[in-house]
């Protein structure tokens, strides 16, 4: 008995499958156009023979469900995990602490930087302090008494000689002090070297900051704090130069020094013949005079500038230490759910290595996977679509095209070459990612759920 019905059944099944694929839009567009084109008569014109009709067909694309906002989080520095404060599935708020590294070294650096800032601020306060009238009056009285006692002793032994010699010495010392307000050449050279080094560091810091200045968070980057510190160090060095510079020429200073030596020699010669009581009285006068001069000097702008620059340097160092301390903590950049956790307490971590995945699971979107270049043409943001889900057959959501990625990617799902083709030959269709925003959310949706996006007929 011939089983003729078996080939017939197979043929009908094949025709049914082919029709189903056509109805679902799985046939290549070029093949559909060729099949749908009208027959050409021999008398048709050349232009009519080239005309090919474009039949209306429905565009559908496989897609997946993804959160509208998610991120892979990592530490900014290497270290050892001290504490993991969340688990997979936990819901966190923006700014919540997630992972903490051991921060002993960072805390020590913060304490050192704070102590340095306190010292610099105390020095600035001292430099800004005005002289106290009560103290000056007290020292003036003490000096007058010391001078009277010394004059009495000196005039009793050698009337007028000691006084005249000491007056000459005081004048010579005053002239020398006036001409030598600037530092010695050695100190000035050292200060100049410090200024050159500070200038080089400042130039390097400006270059490094320029490379990241375009970023939105440039002000909080280590390069910004390094630039602040280098600027403060340069200003401190410049202020020190300003303090040390000035005064007389070397020849003038040498002449003044010689005059002091001559006057001192005359005083010493006169005092050699005097009792020790007179020498003690002279020492008291010099001591009180030095204290009075210091109290009368009061506030010097150069010293205040140097002290203020030191405060700025210390403040920059404290800010840098605080940033390093904050980098030992990993905090949530936005509210969401911990969807993956790849670290535990006691483990070593490397800067930039993904530790935790955070996603906002309250807002989903759909991304297409296989929308080819033949189908993406004409799809624009704002168009309405419908989305169905394999795992939720009863759910169909309306949505809107939010974004069409302008760059296509090669897909190897459809092989165009033989298996022996070179490895550097791209195979498969060029596909484009289209992002869909559902008009409403559903609590049953989960990350990477399969879906089908219907773009309608084209």
Residue 111 and residue 51 share a domain: no
Residue with tokens 């000459």: 168
- Classify residue 318: in a domain, yes or no: yes
User: What whole-number distance in Å separates Cα of residue 432 and Cα of residue 423?
Assistant: 23
Mean pLDDT of 168-197: 75
User: What whole-number distance in Å separates Cα of residue 116 and Cα of residue 232?
Assistant: 14
Q: What is the pLDDT of residue 358?
A: 94
Residue 265 and residue 150 share a domain: yes
Domain residues for the domain of 116 are 105-326
Q: Give which of 272, 70, 64, 41 is closest to 165, Cα–Cα.
A: 272
- Classify residue 269: in a domain, yes or no: yes
Q: Quick check: pTM over 0.75?
A: no
User: What whole-number distance in Å separates Cα of residue 282 and Cα of residue 166?
Assistant: 10
Residue 335 and residue 311 share a domain: no
Q: What is the pLDDT of residues 412-427, one digit of tens each?
A: 643 333 344 444 444 4
Q: Give which of 263, 256, 257 is closest to 165, Cα–Cα.
A: 263
In this structure, how many other beta carbons lie within 10 angstroms of the beta carbon of residue 429? 20
Q: Give which of 71, 70, 72, 69 is closest to 353, Cα–Cα.
A: 72
Residue 82 and residue 119 share a domain: no
**DSSP secondary structure, 150-171, as one string:** HHHHHHHHSTTHHHHHHHHHHH
List Cα–Cα distances, 44 to 35, 38, 51, 398, 416, in angstroms. Answer: 19, 12, 11, 46, 36
- Does 118 have pLDDT greater than 60? yes
- Does 455 have pLDDT greater than 90? yes
Mean pLDDT of 369-386: 91
Q: What is the pLDDT of residues 218-260, one digit of tens each?
A: 788 888 888 888 898 888 888 767 756 665 567 767 888 888 8
Q: What is the pLDDT of residues 328-349, one digit of tens each?
A: 899 999 999 999 998 899 999 9
> Which residues are paired to 92 by β-bridges?
336
Residue 337 and residue 318 share a domain: no
Residue 152 and residue 180 share a domain: yes
Residue 289 and residue 176 share a domain: yes
User: What whole-number distance in Å separates Cα of residue 37 and Cα of residue 117?
Assistant: 84
Residue 317 and residue 172 share a domain: yes
Of 326, 349, 382, the residue at which a domain comes to its end is: 326
Residue 333 and residue 303 share a domain: no
Check which CATH number belongs to the domain holding 448 and give it: 2.40.30.170
What whole-number percentage of the chain has pLDDT above 90? 30
Residue 114 and residue 89 share a domain: no
Residues 6 or more apart whose CB falls under 8 angstroms from that of 38 comprise 53
pLDDT class of 42 with cuts at 50, 70, 90: very low
Check which CATH number belongs to the domain holding 343 and give it: 2.40.50.100
Of 359, 374, 402, the residue at which a domain comes to its end is: 359
- Classify residue 61: in a domain, yes or no: no
Residue 281 and residue 156 share a domain: yes
Residue 232 and residue 218 share a domain: yes
List Cα–Cα distances, 100 to 74, 78, 346, 352, 444, in angstroms. Answer: 12, 12, 11, 15, 33
- Classify residue 63: in a domain, yes or no: no
Domains in the chain, number: 4
CB 228 within 8 A of CB 316: yes
- Classify residue 228: in a domain, yes or no: yes
pLDDT class of 287 with cuts at 50, 70, 90: confident
pLDDT class of 63 with cuts at 50, 70, 90: very high
CB 446 within 8 A of CB 339: no
């Amino acid at each position: 008995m011939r089983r003729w019905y078996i080939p017939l059944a197979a043929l009908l099944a094949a025709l049914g499958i082919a029709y189903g694929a056509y109805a679902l839009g799985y046939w290549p567009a070029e093949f559909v156009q060729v099949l749908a084109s009208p027959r050409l008569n021999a008398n048709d014109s050349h232009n009519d023979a080239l005309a090919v009709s474009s039949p209306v067909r429905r565009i559908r694309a496989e897609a997946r469900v993804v959160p509208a906002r998610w991120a892979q989080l990592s530490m900014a520095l290497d270290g050892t995990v001290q504490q993991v404060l969340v688990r997979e599935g936990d819901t966190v708020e923006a700014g919540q602490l997630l992972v903490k590294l051991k921060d002993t070294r960072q805390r020590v650096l913060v304490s050192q930087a704070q102590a340095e800032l306190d010292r610099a601020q105390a020095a600035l306060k001292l430099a800004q302090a005005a002289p106290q009238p009560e103290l000056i009056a007290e020292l003036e009285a003490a000096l007058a008494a010391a001078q009277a006692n010394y004059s009495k002793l000196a005039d009793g032994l050698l009337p007028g000689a000691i006084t005249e010699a000491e007056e000459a010495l005081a004048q010579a010392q005053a002239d020398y002090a006036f001409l030598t307000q600037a530092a010695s050449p050695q100190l000035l050279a050292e200060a100049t070297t410090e200024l050159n080094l500070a200038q080089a560091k400042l130039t390097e810091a400006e270059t490094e900051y320029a490379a990241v200045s375009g970023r939105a968070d440039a002000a909080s980057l280590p390069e910004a704090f390094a630039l602040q510190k280098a600027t403060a160090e340069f200003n401190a060095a410049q202020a020190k130069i300003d303090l040390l510079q000035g005064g007389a020429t070397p020849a003038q200073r040498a002449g003044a020094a010689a005059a002091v030596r001559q006057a001192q020699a005359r005083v010493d010669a006169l005092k050699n013949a005097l009792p020790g009581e007179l020498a003690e009285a002279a020492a008291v006068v010099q001591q009180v005079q030095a204290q009075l001069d210091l109290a009368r000097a009061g506030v010097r702008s150069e010293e205040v500038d140097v002290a203020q620059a030191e405060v700025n340097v210390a403040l920059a160092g404290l800010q840098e230490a605080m940033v390093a301390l904050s980098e030992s903590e990993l905090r949530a950049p936005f509210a969401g759910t911990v969807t993956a956790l790849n670290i535990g307490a006691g483990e070593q971590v490397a800067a930039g290595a993904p530790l935790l995945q955070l996603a906002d699971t309250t807002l989903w979107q759909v991304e297409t996977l296989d929308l080819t270049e033949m189908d993406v043409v004409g799809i624009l943001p704002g168009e309405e679509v419908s989305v169905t889900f394999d795992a939720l057959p009863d759910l169909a959501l309306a949505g809107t095209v939010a974004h069409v990625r302008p760059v296509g990617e090669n897909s190897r799902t459809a092989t165009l070459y033989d298996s022996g083709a070179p490895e550097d030959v791209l195979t498969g269709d060029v596909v484009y990612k289209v992002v869909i925003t559902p008009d409403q959310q559903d609590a049953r949706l989960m990350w990477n759920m399969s879906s089908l996006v219907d773009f309608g007929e084209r």
